[in-house]
Amino acid sequence: MKLRAGTIALLGAVALYAIVLVAGLTRLLNPYWLQIFQFAGIMTISGLGLNIIYGYTGQFSLGHAAFYGIGAYTAAFITKSAAAGGGMLLPALLAGAVAAGLVAFLIGLPILRLRSDYLGIATLGFGIIVKVLFDNSDAVLPTLGGSRGMTGIPKLTTWTWVFVGAIGAVMLVRNFVYSSHGRACISVREDEIAAEAIGVNTTQYKTLGFVMGCALAGLAGGLYAHLYTFLHPMNFDFLKSLDVLLIVVLGGLGSISGTIVAACAWTLLLEGLRVVLPPEILDWRLVIYPLLLIVVMLLRPKGLFGGNEFRFLKPEERE
């Protein structure tokens, strides 16, 4: 029997999950590195969200971190005020995703009329506004901590939660982009006017893509909050939006495989350099990183995957 690519990928994923889980439990992988692996998964989820918005629907967003932050603060607020232990994590994560999606819907309706760079700038402005609101959040809800940061969030995120979330996000995005709705989003990216001419409701699909992508960012934010147990508005500023954009473009716009690989490579490289570099040139870590980034972009302007996918992420070919 010929094994299907999907089956092999599933087995590979389960194996990866089990290896990291066991290595974490037996302390072969120290807690610090386990945390890095979890963070890579979180960046994958957030990156996939931006990939729907920018890679597939073609809507340039520079405010992704705002939605990530909305999810993080919403989820953390729920678990912290409920104080009912681990049972609240799932509802909190979902609430974070819904809150991010809802805000995306409300802000998306007016601003998604803007095109390309102008949309990017409007979302950038929105992201900065949200960050300032986080800074001042303690005036309304003291629990959120404002510019002093939010502390005392229960540490509920585990490797299992992150892994299930990431696999769920991959499956969701993969099935979405190969569905008729996903195709409609791609047609908007390719040519908005032509899409409209053949009867695609472009406003509806732009909003759909934007809301889905931001909801994924919200989910990632919730996981992040319960991984590091501390939130600060600085974690959601404009530079963090650029990080996600870097990941998505480096991987290749409109490529799920690219986002997965780039998110993991980006996280592990930034942390890995910390270990590899000798202490006396540790300051060079963030000098080397942008140079690598520039070199990769000069050599592969369309990103690592350039819109291609691993075989298991493609639909089966029909006879």
- 103 interacts with another protein by CB under 8 A: no
Token code pair at residue 230: 């501390």
36 binds another protein (CB under 8 A): no
How many residues touch another protein under the rule CB under 8 A: the total is 42
Q: Given the structure tokens 């870590």, which residue do they identify?
A: 285
- Residue pair 47/169 in contact (Cβ under 8 Å)? The answer is no
Rounded CA separation 55/208 (Å): 14
- The residue whose two tokens read 């629907």 is 57
Instruction: Select 13 or 128, whichever has its Cβ closest to another protein.
Output: 128
| Residue pair 159/20 in contact by the 8 Å Cβ criterion | yes
Q: According to the binding rule CB under 8 A, does residue 301 interact with another protein?
A: yes
**125 versus 149: smaller Cβ distance to another protein:** 125
Task: Quote the least distance from Cβ 139 to another protein, whole Å.
Answer: 9
By CB under 8 A, tell whether 250 contacts another protein: yes
Please tell me whether residue 128 binds another protein under the rule CB under 8 A: yes
The residue among 58, 67, 47 whose CA lies nearest residue 107 is 67
**Of positions 3, 278, 283, 319, contacts another protein by CB under 8 A:** 283
- Cβ-based nearer residue to another protein, 231 or 253: 253
The stretch among 40-48, 65-73, 219-227, 283-291 that binds another protein (CB under 8 A) is: 283-291
- Interface stretch with another protein, choices 113-121, 164-172, 208-216, 261-269 (CB under 8 A): 113-121
- In whole angstroms, give the CA distance from residue 96 to residue 94: 5
Q: Which of 249, 261, 262, 263 binds another protein (CB under 8 A)?
A: 249
Q: Which of 154, 121, 159 is nearest to 25 (CA)?
A: 159
Distance between CA atoms of 150 and 13, rounded to whole angstroms? Answer: 34
Written as six digits, the tokens of 297 are 């972009």
- How many helical (H) and strand (E) elements, i.e. helices and strands, does the chain have? 12, 0
- Give the C-alpha separation, 181 to 183, whole Å: 5
By CB under 8 A, is residue 114 in contact with another protein? Answer: yes
Q: Does 287 bind another protein (CB under 8 A)?
A: yes
Binding test (CB under 8 A) with another protein, winner from 8, 25, 171, 294: 294
CA distance 215 to 102: 8
Name the site residues for another protein (rule: CB under 8 A): 110-111, 113-115, 117-118, 120-122, 124-126, 128-129, 132-133, 135-136, 147, 193, 238-239, 242, 245-246, 249-250, 253, 283-284, 286-287, 289-291, 293-294, 297-298, 301-302
